[in-house]
């Protein structure tokens, strides 16, 4: 670069990340006819929603929110989801796995971890087809898991919603190629470059409200595979398992049957940031579904998972 | 705390993945469950943890034991946050290296201490140089296998600096002896190499000064979209590509050329007096001027180049080779345009750096080309501005991203409108056949229609290839789907203007002398840009003996010498 006469401080990392995410959201809003934003009420999608507010301010968010409800979500999170959409006067589309089962779109899988994670895939794809969404924002981050590390910001999906890791479009500078044929769509991950720490710092900085189960609270749990598994109407203690009451918080809030919690006293974002800076386990490590096989996430993503 | 993006490039066995694993591991960025998964996946479980498995993400790669796609990694130290683009280094993956390099502030090139500076190191350096990465780090790895020998390191350092000078790399180069496997000089200072006094790798990454890397001199603002939530608010949303903008600044909108001032810099967190790259903001202007996506806001006294001919270096990224004359899309800033590659000037052999004359560019080829675009681009040379100097090429059939482009410093302008110059019979040949030049005579005035008809007839009788372009023919034909307005202030009006101008250019390419009474908006910067270099004669039909007047002007301009004027 040429030697500059003008100098300004480099943007602080959160500002840099925010500017990048806003740029991506505006690109999508400008280039796609029917985008939608996947909003689960989880912390990543809460950040994404704030970024969308900022990108189009003072206008409304120019696309609907969509949630694929597994029916196994934490009730606190579902309440929060509805409240937040209401506050923003945003259109919220909910498609449920239960409904998809009833319609025969999917068959429920049996097993100890009767996770409905994989069952979200056909439900999600069905929703995308129904509304003919051609761009779908997801809150996935590259630091979450190895298969995600190679994901593009604009992730091309074929007519069957599939991801082909060997045939991804090269992505250079901040020039995103959103061109697609009818029936195909693009998954867009505007917070790809954020880490778990960045998300917490942003929640703190923006004073974002999040579902209370992210903060330390008392809960009945059992210990399975060295993890604290929360008990609920969907998951009871096995014979011989000791039911413990622990002060815990959740680092992710997926399917109640496959999301473990961690022991914690952190009841504010600041305390969580402190805890996260010394945490030695990644957040997806609390997701039992990712551990099923070494390539579990990659396989789900190929099928159309986000 | 700020953020540094860097990429890494190395050959298959240079230990690149091990190095990144080491950086993550020693900077405590590796969490226990990732480590556990790696231990589970390590083929030989008796060995120590294989750090490389931390970064080789996908199943296919684990099977082949190589990294095949760009993977992004994240770690932080108390001083900085880092985004690492881990790019594979084999010959066939020039594409991936360029991808990782495109967003990097710095790059680490790995050199195996046992092999020294080899062909691949040269190739990696060349790509880093091509992509204009501001800071170059050469990590001489596997020093443990050369007994941490100072002379080995110094001889490699000398080789590399010589090669870099040959390439013309003048920027910051730092060369560090390391052992990624043993951890020497990566995060912890090497005891075995006490002779080395320079920074460790992490020291360098934490402290490298990037304040000069962002171009803050040339304000460039590609408009992404117009925010118009209600009648009282209108702003242009975008991310500042380069430069600084302040409230009150005098600006110009491209391509319209309309000027105004910055009324406000809007963000949801409050209005700003000043903003700079790479902030995402929304600009409000003092005047209601027509600006839409793809336009660019720039300072009145510092404009980019505007042209529909661009000379650039392409990195071809697709199995299907590039062909001249084939239609492509170019996405440049927020602007997507149709384009053709008119000419391949040469291909650079990435190993010998020789310039070869070729007829096509294949996967991973790097070539200098001349491109014609259907609408003008507003750009700066890539080495001056990585954001307004870069573009991607998209195949309109498959929608694949087929190339990355970097706009050259020198732009040799062709003599005539270069867009459609390919083909044996060019305009000059046609002009020679007609014995006059191609030009547009633009008539305005009360009785312009009658004068136009008379002029056409007069010239036609003398064997001039004259053609009267009639407004009705256009509005009933070519422009029938557009609202009948020639105002540049609405979308249809501008599109009509564009089509008409393009048609004019085609007629000019046939060598015709075009007579028209259309209001083509010749006062607009946009139309002027499209017709730059063309003979454009604006004449009032209210002149006495208007036809003769035009003939005189044509002769004066050297367009057509009417024999009747000689007497």
pLDDT of residue B133: 93
CA distance A262 to A271: 14
Q: Residue B71: which of A149, A166, A170 has the nearest Cβ?
A: A149
The tally of CA atoms less than 13 A away on the side-chain side of residue B120 is 20
Check whether B422 has a pLDDT greater than 80: no
Comparing B57-71, B160-174, B343-357, B492-506, the range with the smallest average pLDDT is: B57-71
Check whether B419 has a pLDDT greater than 50: no
Q: Which A residues in the span 162-191 are in contact with B, Cβ-Cβ below 8 Å?
A: 165-166, 168-175, 177, 179-181
% of chain B exceeding 70 in pLDDT: 86
CA distance B201 to B470: 70
What pLDDT digit, counting tens, does each position of B269-282 carry?
Answer: 999 999 999 999 99
Rounded to the nearest 10 degrees, what angle do helices A43-56 and A196-205 cross at? 60
**Which residue in B has a C-alpha nearest to residue A21's C-alpha?**
B280
Q: Which A residues in the span 191-210 are in contact with B, Cβ-Cβ below 8 Å?
A: 192-193, 195, 197-198
CA distance A306 to B505: 48
B392 in reach of chain A (CB within 8 A): yes
Q: What is the phi/psi pair of residue B222, to 5°?
A: -75, 125
Check whether B176 has a pLDDT greater than 70: yes
Among A250, A292, A233, smallest CA distance to A109 is for: A292
CA distance B132 to B384: 9
Place of tokens 């959201």: A25
Cα–Cα separations (whole angstroms), residue B50 to B58, B144, B201, B440? 16, 17, 21, 71
| Closest Cα in chain A, distance from residue B196 (Å) | 29
B57 in reach of chain A (CB within 8 A): yes
Among B275, B391, B271, B384, smallest CA distance to B331 is for: B391
B217 in reach of chain A (CB within 8 A): yes
More confident residue, B417 or A103: A103
Across the range B271-294, mean pLDDT stands at: 96
Q: Residue B37: which of A13, A150, A294 has the nearest Cβ?
A: A294
Check whether B136 has a pLDDT greater than 80: yes
Q: Residue B401: which of A7, A30, A177 has the nearest Cβ?
A: A177
% of chain B exceeding 90 in pLDDT: 52
- Residues B279, A11: contact at Cβ < 8 Å? yes
Residue B92: is it exposed, middle or buried by C-beta count within 10 angstroms (0-12/13-18/19+)? exposed
- The helix (run of H) or strand (run of E) holding residue B450 is helix B448-461
| Closest Cα in chain A, distance from residue B481 (Å) | 21
Cβ contact A26–B213 (<8 Å): no
Check whether B566 has a pLDDT greater than 80: no
Residue B242: is it exposed, middle or buried by C-beta count within 10 angstroms (0-12/13-18/19+)? buried
Q: Which residues of chain A have pLDDT under 70?
A: 1-5, 109-115, 278-306
Cβ contact B390–A179 (<8 Å): no
Q: pTM of this prediction? A: 0.79
pLDDT of residue A1: 43
Across the range B30-56, mean pLDDT stands at: 56
A111 CB neighbour count, 10 Å cutoff? 8
Place of tokens 């000043």: B274
Contacts of A302 in chain B (CB under 8 A): none
Check whether B516 has a pLDDT greater than 70: yes
The winner for highest mean pLDDT among B116-125, B250-259, B465-474 is B250-259
Cis peptide bond upstream of B147, omega within 30: no
- Helices and strands in chain B: count of H runs, count of E runs: 13, 26
What pLDDT digit, counting tens, does each position of B545-556 carry?
Answer: 889 889 988 988
What is the interface size between A and B, counted as CB pairs within 8 Å?
A: 210
CA distance A13 to A246: 35
Check whether B80 has a pLDDT greater than 80: yes
The tokens for B339 are: 């384009």
- The helix (run of H) or strand (run of E) holding residue B468 is strand B466-469
Among A252, A264, A251, A270, smallest CA distance to A204 is for: A270
Contacts of B393 in chain A (CB under 8 A): none
The tokens for A23 are: 């740029």
pLDDT of residue B485: 52
Among B273, B183, B285, smallest CA distance to B237 is for: B285
- Residues B321, B304: contact at Cβ < 8 Å? no
Q: Residue A282: which of B34, B103, B278 has the nearest Cβ?
A: B34
Q: Which A residues in the span 251-280 are in contact with B, Cβ-Cβ below 8 Å?
A: 279-280
Burial B295-315 (b: 16+ CB within 10 A, else e): bbbbbeeebbebbbbbbbbbb
CA distance B183 to A193: 27
CA distance A19 to A3: 24
pLDDT of residue B374: 87
Contacts of A16 in chain B (CB under 8 A): 2-3, 278
Across the range B155-170, mean pLDDT stands at: 90
Among A290, A97, A191, A57, smallest CA distance to B225 is for: A57
Residue by residue, what is the 3-state secondary structure of B144-209? HHHCCCHHHHHHHHHHHHHHHHHHCCCCEEEEEECECCCCECCCECCCCCCCCCCCCHHHHHHHCC
Can you name the residues that pair with B140 across neighbouring β-strands?
A: B111, B177
pLDDT of residue B521: 66
B474 alpha-carbon distance from chain centroid: 35
Among A152, A112, A143, smallest CA distance to A251 is for: A143
- Residues B148, B190: contact at Cβ < 8 Å? yes
Residues in chain A: 306
pLDDT-based confidence at B29, cuts 50/70/90? low
The tokens for A36 are: 């939608």
CA distance A26 to B238: 8
């Amino acid at each position: 670069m040429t030697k500059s006469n003008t100098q300004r401080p480099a943007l602080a990392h959160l500002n840099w990340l925010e500017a990048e995410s806003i740029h991506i959201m505006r690109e999508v809003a400008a280039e796609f006819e029917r985008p939608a934003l996947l909003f689960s009420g989880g912390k990543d999608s809460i950040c994404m929603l704030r970024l969308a507010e900022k990108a189009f301010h003072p206008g409304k968010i120019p696309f609907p929110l969509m949630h694929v409800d597994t029916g196994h979500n934490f009730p606190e999170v579902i309440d929060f989801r509805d409240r937040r959409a209401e506050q923003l006067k945003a259109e919220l589309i909910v498609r449920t796995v239960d409904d998809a089962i009833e319609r025969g779109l999917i068959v429920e899988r049996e097993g100890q971890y009767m996770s409905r994670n994989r069952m979200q895939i056909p439900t999600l794809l069905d929703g995308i087809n129904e509304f003919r969404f051609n761009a779908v924002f997801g809150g996935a981050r590259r630091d979450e898991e190895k298969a995600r590390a190679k994901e593009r910001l604009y992730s091309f999906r074929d007519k069957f919603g599939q991801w082909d890791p060997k045939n991804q479009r090269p992505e250079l500078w901040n020039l995103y190629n959103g061109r697609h044929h009818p029936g195909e769509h693009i998954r867009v991950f505007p917070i790809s470059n954020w880490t778990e720490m960045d998300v917490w710092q942003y929640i703190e900085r923006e004073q974002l409200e999040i579902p209370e189960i992210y903060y330390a609270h008392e809960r009945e749990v059992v210990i399975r595979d060295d993890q604290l598994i929360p008990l609920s109407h969907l998951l009871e203690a096995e014979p011989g398992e000791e039911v413990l009451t622990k002060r815990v918080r959740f680092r992710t809030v997926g399917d109640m049957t496959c999301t473990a919690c961690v022991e914690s006293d952190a009841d504010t974002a600041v305390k969580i940031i402190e805890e996260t800076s010394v945490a030695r386990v990644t957040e997806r490590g609390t997701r039992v579904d990712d551990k099923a096989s070494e390539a579990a996430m990659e396989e789900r993503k190929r099928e159309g998972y986000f | 705390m700020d953020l540094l993006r860097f990429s890494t490039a190395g050959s298959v066995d240079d230990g690149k993945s091990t190095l990144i694993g080491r950086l993550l591991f020693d900077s405590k960025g590796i969490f226990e469950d990732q480590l556990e998964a790696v231990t589970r996946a390590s083929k030989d479980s008796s060995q120590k943890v294989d750090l490389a498995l931390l970064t080789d993400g996908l199943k296919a790669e684990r099977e082949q034991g190589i990294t095949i796609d760009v993977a992004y990694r994240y770690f932080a130290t108390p001083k900085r946050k880092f985004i690492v683009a881990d790019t594979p280094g084999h010959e066939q993956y020039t594409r991936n290296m360029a991808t990782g390099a495109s967003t990097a502030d710095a790059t680490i090139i790995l050199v195996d201490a046992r092999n020294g500076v080899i062909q691949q190191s040269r190739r990696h350096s060349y790509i880093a140089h091509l992509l204009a990465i501001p800071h170059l780090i050469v990590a001489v790895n596997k020093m443990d296998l050369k007994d941490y020998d100072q002379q080995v390191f110094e001889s490699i350092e000398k080789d590399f600096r010589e090669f870099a000078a040959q390439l013309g790399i003048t920027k910051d180069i730092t060369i560090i002896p390391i052992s990624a496997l043993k951890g020497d000089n990566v995060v912890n200072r090497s005891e075995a190499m006490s002779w080395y006094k320079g920074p460790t790798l992490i020291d360098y990454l934490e402290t490298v000064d990037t304040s000069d890397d962002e171009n803050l001199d040339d304000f460039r603002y590609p408009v992404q979209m117009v925010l118009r939530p209600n009648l009282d608010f209108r702003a242009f949303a975008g991310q500042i590509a380069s430069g600084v903008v302040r409230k009150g600044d005098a600006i110009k909108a491209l391509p319209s050329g309309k000027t105004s001032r910055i009324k406000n810099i809007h963000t949801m967190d409050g209005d700003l007096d000043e903003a700079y790259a790479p902030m995402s903001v929304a600009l409000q202007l003092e005047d209601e001027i027509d600006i839409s996506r793809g336009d660019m806001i720039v300072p009145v006294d510092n404009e980019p180049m505007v042209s529909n001919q661009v000379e650039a270096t392409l990195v071809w990224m697709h199995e299907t080779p590039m062909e001249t004359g084939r239609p492509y899309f170019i996405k440049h800033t927020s602007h997507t345009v149709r384009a053709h590659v008119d000419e391949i000037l040469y291909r650079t052999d990435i190993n010998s750096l020789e310039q070869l004359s070729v007829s096509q560019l294949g996967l991973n080829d790097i070539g200098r080309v001349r491109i014609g675009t259907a609408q003008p681009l507003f750009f700066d040379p890539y080495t001056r501005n990585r954001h307004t100097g870069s573009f991607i090429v998209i195949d309109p059939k498959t929608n694949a991203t087929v190339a990355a482009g970097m706009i050259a410093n020198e732009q040799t302008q062709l003599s005539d409108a270069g867009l459609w110059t390919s083909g044996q019979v060019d305009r000059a040949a046609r002009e020679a056949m007609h014995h006059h030049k191609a030009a547009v005579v633009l008539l305005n005035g009360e009785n312009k229609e009658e004068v136009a008809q008379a002029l056409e007839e007069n010239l036609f009788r003398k064997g001039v290839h004259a053609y009267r372009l009639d407004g009705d023919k256009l509005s009933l034909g070519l422009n029938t789907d557009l609202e009948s307005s020639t105002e540049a202030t609405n979308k249809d009006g501008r599109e009509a203007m564009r089509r008409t101008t393009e048609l004019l250019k085609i007629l000019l390419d046939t060598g015709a002398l075009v007579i028209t009474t259309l209001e083509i908006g010749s006062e607009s910067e946009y139309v002027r840009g499209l017709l730059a270099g063309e003979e454009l004669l604006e004449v009032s039909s209210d002149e006495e003996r208007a036809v003769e007047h035009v003939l005189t002007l044509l002769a004066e301009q050297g367009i057509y010498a009417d024999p009747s004027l000689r007497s």
